[in-house]
Amino acid sequence: MLCMIGVFLAVQVFFMYKWLHPAVGYPSAHQGVLDARGWDFAKQGIVPLQGEWEFYEGQLLSPEDFKNRPELAGERRMLKVPGNWKGVLETDGHDGYGAGTYRLLVHIDQSAVYALRAKKIRMSSHIYINGADLGGNGKTALDKPDFIASNLPFLGVEKADAGTVEIIIQVASLNFLAGGLVQAPEFGTHTAVLERVSNSRLADMVQISAMLLFALYYGGMFRQWRKERHLMYFSLFCLATGVFFSLDNEILIRNIFPDISFALLQKAVFVSVYLSFLWFASYIFRYLGQPDNIVFIWTRRTMYVYLVFIVLPNDYLAKTLLLNVSLQAITFANIFYVLIRGRMKGVPGTGYLSLGVFFLITSWGFAQFRYELALDNPYYMIVSPLLLVFSQAFLMSNRIQQEFLRNEKLSEQLLAYDRQKDEFLAKTSHELRTPLHGLINLSQSMLEDRGGDLPQRHKENVRLMNLVGRRLAGLVHDILDMSLMKHGQLRIHKTAVDLRVTTSFVLEMLSIMPTNKLVMLVNDLPSDLPLAYADENRLKQILHNLLENGLKFTETGTVRITAEQNGSDIFVSVIDTGRGIPEEQLARIFRPFEQYVETGAHTPSGIGLGLSITKQLVELQNGKLQVTSEVGKGTSFTFNLPIAQKEAASGKKNYVPPSAEPAALTALSSLGGQQDMKILIVDDEPFNVKILVDAISSLRYGYTAVHGGKEAIEAIRDYPKPDLVLLDLMMPGVSGLEVCREIRKTHGLAELPVLMLTASGQTGDTVAAFAAGANDILQKPFELAELKARVQSLLSMKRSSEHAVRREMDFLQAQITPHFLYNSLNALVGLSYKDTDKLREMIHHLTTYLRGKFTFSFQSQLVSFDREMELVEAYLAIEQLRFGSRLQVRYEIEPDFHCMMPPLTLQPLVENAVRHGLGPRPAGGTVLIRARRVAGGGEFTVEDDGVGMEEEMLARLNADQGSGVGTLNVNRRLKMLYAQKLSISSEPGRGTTIQFFIAEEPDAQSRIN
């Protein structure tokens, strides 16, 4: 970092020297005459009117005065321009204040339209050229009441013939600052002067836009991360600096406020400078986490006091220059002190902060020299403030990356701790279960021993011990169930269940336990209730948890269980008349280890696992648990279970889900469910298809079921494409291996996972399945829980892959190399001296290119071909500026060609052709871009005659093993969205051709979403 600062310092010193000692030898005025004959204004540009001017003190003279008053020749004196009136004029005891007239005769040998540009005439002016009144700034006067100050830049135009040009400038300064021509006016042809003004305004506009853009950006970041207060201060610093640039040099703020007074303008300059220094110092302190030291506190207070007194008349502002510079110098010293302390403490980011401080000092130094020496602002000095904000942008991105890595590490640690916690609870529960059951059994045997003579007092203690043991055993079982469900190991064995019998059993268990005598358990189940299709033991656990929860939170009244048939489901409700639960607390009660405790009420027993386990048990049986409650009136829990079909009710052990006859199967399809996932099920056995369909339906995924390999291949080619394929290994006709190989021709392992199912456990079948491209293999018969776990794992892997592709696309959008940006900016600076129209055109192309690269909404939409080509043309225009005649571009676009395509599909290929195809070739070459309609869509070609590629590199690209992100990302998206891929051909020394096809598909947008 120190080396980088040293390099920048050397460059800045060089430019400052060139600025203070220009190499051009301009003609100088002597005795009021400047001889510009022989000066080629068209080639050599403008001439600063510096040297000796005639000056007439205390008089505001017009051209008529010089014609009609010959005695004026004896009143003239010579004044050096540039220069002020200190030691020359004095009014009311104020040195440098007064009024007078400057006159200069310029000899020229070219007839043309000439212009005069004056930037620092203090404090009012009125200008004549060859007798023509060109106007001026403010109002010149000999008396203070009639005087109006204005220091805005002036531009006047007048046609002049070869000979002598008379320039008369009336100047008055009776307030604010010492008067005079403190910066030499510039004289030249209208075109040259106007070009100079335009370049100066462009430089100001670049600085203002950059500062305000970064102020808005960091302000938005602070809104997202309120704790990072340094973002707020840097946003305010950029805002204050942008305002200062609008008040300085060309004073572009006058375009918005044309009537702004000099007094207000001067106050705004002082305020913006002070606030920028104050906020930058606060930004440094907050970023480094350093407390405000006593020096900074008093410096800040002094600045606040100064800003309060700035409302005083502007006459006093010029007298505070020493205080102004002193406060700024103290602020810089304090910043250096804090940076050194941060560096010694090892605070990351001090290097970037030091770089930002260096650029701030550079900008400050140039501003001070320009203000004190009344020099024009060099165009290359706009780089310093831009580099300042860019250096801090790099710092912010580096900090965000470090925070992301830190959070990722903490997340991994938290996950590890969570696993350790689960393992501890599970192991502890296993170890506690045996002694607890022993305790319960021993205490129960003591209570049932009729032959013993245990005293009544001890019997109550044993009964209490038994109840406590049972409660602890229940907690242990809940913890074990939660652990099993969390790891997907809880097995559900569904069968036909009589809900009335199960409910009676649970109510009988609860009735023998000591409960509140003021609460009644009511069984309102209808007698004609059909059998439910559920796991009987888990259904008992569900009912027990819900009824016990009602008893726990009901002090008086009833806990009632009801049920009704609705379609193919049975809806069971447990209703109590307890305290009720507020609506905002309903979502919490289903979370593990959380309970609702009413203010002032006693804390209920338990650890908050019952309702969480109940909800998951209901969902494992294809049901849904819902709750409604009203405070003071009670709570109602309702869940649904499917009705058992005749096969299950008659005692069949086979797993047959409630659906139509298997023989009717040709192709089943469902898009229901809560998750936007579609599974393709391929098996020639209808019974197996039914099992898989039921398992997928229980996971709330959509599915399509076919019974042969040919139908599977057709289903994969249709849209929407599946997200996972459950594929039987052995099928008649087209086997599962052949189907898998066909899938892998157009889809990668992560783009379309394949779970192979086989009844054979032989190693050869497993190896063949993986060789064909399967992601996983499962042996029949299988446990449904294992099948579901593998399905969810593969879908999670697919989601992660899609997320990675989107991240690559984000990176591709933001991938603007500093080298490219620096070259573009250098080229723009070069154009600013040569061709203003071309400069504007190139800036338009650069903004188009940056807008396309920075637009992140592309992830969720297609773009038109015209919009993609706009980005391509902008990029090529910028590169042609750099390459010149070495880069030729040809377009072969079919007339009226239009299509929708994924964003950043064509541009990365064109950039690849320019950078890697033509860039290494000294002679350059041609890039051809072709687009035309073909059957079913559009065909696109990017061709160059550059250096080409070796066969090894070409083979790697065709195998998706390249090192760059551009071509790989385009290829992956084409394969994912259209089952297409790039066709790449190349020959060393002859160039490269890349071609791809995009089908016209009405649902392509939905698949991107």
Residue 689 one-letter amino acid:
V
Per-residue pLDDT tens digits for 592-627: 766 666 654 544 555 567 788 888 888 888 889 888
Euclidean distance between CA atoms 233 and 174, whole angstroms = 39
Domains, the chain, in order of start with CATH, read 31-184 (2.60.120.260), 204-407 (1.20.1070), 491-648 (3.30.565.10), 659-810 (3.40.50.2300), 816-1008 (3.30.565.10)
- The predicted model gives 951-976 an average pLDDT of 77
Nearest to 538 by CA among 423, 620, 424: 620
**What are the structure tokens assigned to 630, written together?**
């009203």
Pick from 51-65, 223-237, 437-451, 529-543 the range whose average pLDDT is largest: 51-65
Using the predicted structure, report yes or no on whether residue 54 has a pLDDT greater than 90. yes
Angle, nearest 10°, between helix axes 818-832 and 836-854? 160
pLDDT value of position 343: 81
Let me know: does 692 contact 657? Beta carbons within 8 Å.
Answer: no
Decide: residue 570, CB within 10 A, 0-12 exposed, 13-18 middle, 19+ buried: buried
pLDDT value of position 1001: 57
Per-residue pLDDT tens digits for 150-178: 888 899 999 999 899 999 999 999 888 88
**What are the structure tokens assigned to 940, written together?**
């696109």
Percent of the chain with pLDDT over 70: 78
Q: Which residues pair with 139 in a beta bridge?
A: 148
DSSP conformational letter for 385: H
Per-residue pLDDT tens digits for 11-20: 666 666 665 5
Q: How confident is the model at residue 653 (pLDDT cuts 50, 70, 90)?
A: very low
- The predicted model gives 936-963 an average pLDDT of 85
Euclidean distance between CA atoms 797 and 775, whole angstroms = 10
Per-residue pLDDT tens digits for 312-354: 676 666 667 677 778 778 888 888 888 888 888 877 777 778 8
Length of the chain (residues) = 1009
- The predicted model gives 267-272 an average pLDDT of 83
Max Cα separation, the chain? 148
- Give pTM, 2 decimals: 0.47
Q: Which residues pair with 941 in a beta bridge?
A: 930, 995
Per-residue pLDDT tens digits for 392-414: 888 888 878 888 888 888 888 88
DSSP of 94-114: EET-EEEEEEEEEEES--EEE
For residue 536, how many other CB atoms are within 10 A of its CB? Answer: 18
Euclidean distance between CA atoms 430 and 359, whole angstroms = 66
Using the predicted structure, report yes or no on whether residue 106 has a pLDDT greater than 90. yes
Q: Name which residue leads in pLDDT, 747 or 568.
A: 568
Per-residue pLDDT tens digits for 555-598: 888 899 999 988 889 999 999 988 888 887 777 777 776 666 66
Q: How confident is the model at residue 115 (pLDDT cuts 50, 70, 90)?
A: very high
The count of C-alpha atoms lying within 13 angstroms of the C-alpha of 966, restricted to the half-sphere facing its C-beta, is 18
Per-residue pLDDT tens digits for 179-203: 899 888 999 999 999 988 888 888 8
Euclidean distance between CA atoms 814 and 504, whole angstroms = 66
Let me know: does 521 contact 559? Beta carbons within 8 Å.
Answer: yes
Place of tokens 């993609």: 868
pLDDT value of position 12: 63
Q: Which residues pair with 522 in a beta bridge?
A: 560
**What are the structure tokens assigned to 87, written together?**
């030691």
Euclidean distance between CA atoms 817 and 849, whole angstroms = 13
pLDDT value of position 166: 93
- The predicted model gives 49-66 an average pLDDT of 92
Let me know: does 758 contact 790? Beta carbons within 8 Å.
Answer: no
Percent of the chain with pLDDT over 90: 15
Per-residue pLDDT tens digits for 474-495: 667 766 666 666 666 677 778 8
pLDDT value of position 459: 76
Mean pLDDT of the chain: 79
- The predicted model gives 946-950 an average pLDDT of 89
Euclidean distance between CA atoms 350 and 301, whole angstroms = 26
Using the predicted structure, report yes or no on whether residue 433 has a pLDDT greater than 70. no
pLDDT value of position 316: 67
Using the predicted structure, report yes or no on whether residue 107 has a pLDDT greater than 70. yes
- The predicted model gives 765-773 an average pLDDT of 80
Euclidean distance between CA atoms 464 and 151, whole angstroms = 95
pLDDT value of position 608: 64
pLDDT value of position 838: 64
Using the predicted structure, report yes or no on whether residue 814 has a pLDDT greater than 60. no
Using the predicted structure, report yes or no on whether residue 825 has a pLDDT greater than 70. no
Nearest to 665 by CA among 642, 646, 692, 684: 684
Using the predicted structure, report yes or no on whether residue 819 has a pLDDT greater than 60. no
Residue 889 Cα distances to 870, 873, 906, 988, angstroms: 14, 10, 15, 21
Euclidean distance between CA atoms 153 and 143, whole angstroms = 24
Nearest to 864 by CA among 980, 977, 998: 998
Euclidean distance between CA atoms 480 and 474, whole angstroms = 10
pLDDT value of position 876: 85
Euclidean distance between CA atoms 829 and 616, whole angstroms = 66
- The predicted model gives 47-57 an average pLDDT of 92
Q: How confident is the model at residue 692 (pLDDT cuts 50, 70, 90)?
A: confident
pLDDT value of position 596: 65
SS3 content of the chain, % helix, strand, coil (to 5): 50, 20, 30
Lowest mean pLDDT segment, chosen from 37-41, 428-432, 996-1000: 428-432
Residue 199 Cα distances to 383, 664, 668, 791, angstroms: 14, 80, 70, 64
Lowest mean pLDDT segment, chosen from 113-127, 290-304, 507-521, 661-675: 661-675
Lowest mean pLDDT segment, chosen from 472-481, 572-581, 826-835, 959-968: 826-835
pLDDT value of position 512: 56
- The predicted model gives 361-388 an average pLDDT of 70
What is the dihedral angle through the alpha carbons of 41, 45, 46, 51, rounded to the nearest 10 degrees? Answer: -90
pLDDT value of position 779: 83
Per-residue pLDDT tens digits for 218-264: 888 888 888 888 889 889 999 998 898 888 888 888 888 888 888 88
Beta sheet of 754-758, edge-to-edge order: 667-670, 702-706, 678-682, 724-728, 754-758, 776-779
Decide: residue 915, CB within 10 A, 0-12 exposed, 13-18 middle, 19+ buried: middle
Let me know: does 116 contact 155? Beta carbons within 8 Å.
Answer: yes
Using the predicted structure, report yes or no on whether residue 651 has a pLDDT greater than 70. no
Q: Name which residue leads in pLDDT, 661 or 402.
A: 402
Euclidean distance between CA atoms 712 and 680, whole angstroms = 8
pLDDT value of position 659: 35
Per-residue pLDDT tens digits for 504-560: 767 766 765 656 678 888 888 888 888 888 887 788 888 888 888 888 888 888 899
Could you tell me whether strands 33-35 and 98-108 are parallel, antiparallel, or unpaired per DSSP bridges? Answer: parallel
pLDDT value of position 495: 81
- Tell me phi and psi for residue 781, to 5 degrees: -75, 150
Q: How confident is the model at residue 305 (pLDDT cuts 50, 70, 90)?
A: confident
